[in-house]
Structure 1
């Protein structure tokens, strides 16, 4: 019985892969060619990679036995597992948590492949599709 309580006290953090920074680096190189060839105000285009890198660092879903927290660029929202009716995958890449009141919450970085981590963190409230 000590094992479930130990795992429930440690939250699981699901993040965007840090390898996404490599793609942002290539985008930066492409934008640099525009900045260096164009007028001076084209330097404002370099804000785009900064914002994208900030998104990669900031977006995440943190889950424990009682709650799940979706963190976005400008804030975060915490919901109790009891208030979640289920998860679904629509046209978006990330999972959507369907609340009992009918609203939905996007869970950043939660994909079909990371559902086993969410299953462990939620103490089985999210079913594991691989079992």
Structure 2
């Protein structure tokens, strides 16, 4: 009698494979930034006290920026707005040199996909149910 084996997931693998977020390690950078700002802001509070708002704004951006894929379409969330794009309006995905991936719609609009980078392409393809293809995955003989 043998037990069914399932490979363990790496700790960095998210539980929700259809949700893409900014790397949570960014919060460590925010904490270090806050510590670096603390000394000048407390030494000169009237002149430099406003600097404390910078890490707060960055934390707001990290917390709000995400992309979720489901059967209805792609749901994009940025620091100031949320938008849903149905699958019939999705033309493709573009990967610029800097920044996150961009969703290209049928009307040629380019929308930022927060938390999605080039190395997420295989996971993006699986989460979209094949609607977004991974050109580097192994193709089967019947695929064209």
**Same fold, TM exceeding 0.5?**
yes
Q: 1:87 aligns with which of 58, 83, 93?
A: 93
- After TM superposition, the score normalised by the length of structure 2 is 0.78
Task: Please say which structure displays the higher CA radius of gyration.
Answer: 2
Q: Distance in 2 between matches of 1:113 and 1:13?
A: 15
Aligned-pair CA distance for 1:24: 0.7
Pairing partner for 2:117 from 104, 111, 114: 111
Distance, in Å, in 1 between the alignment partners of 2:123 and 2:130 is 10
Task: Tell whether 2:49 aligns with 1:54.
Answer: no
The CA RMSD over aligned residues, in Å, is: 1.6
Is 2:100–2:117's contact at 8 Å kept on the other side of the alignment?
A: yes
Q: Are 2:75 and 1:65 aligned?
A: no
Equivalent residue number for residue 29 of structure 2: 23
Mapped partners of 1:40, 1:52: distance in 2:
22
**Structure 2 residue matching 1:93: 3-state secondary structure:** coil
Partner deviation per Cα, 1:47-67 (whole Å, 9 max, x = no partner)? 111111111111000101330
Q: Equivalents in 1 of 2:48, 2:102: separation in Å?
A: 37
- DSSP 3-state at the match of 1:69: strand
1:102 matched residue in structure 2: 108
Q: 2:51 aligns with which of 41, 45, 55?
A: 45
| Structure 1 partner of 2:129 | 123
The TM-score, its normalising length taken from structure 1, stands at 0.85
- Distance of 2:33 and 2:124 partners within structure 1: 32
1 or 2, which has the higher helix percentage? 1
CA contact (8 A) 1:65 1:121 kept: no
Deviates more, 1:82-91 or 1:101-110: 82-91
Structure with higher RCO (Cα < 8 A, 6+ apart): 1
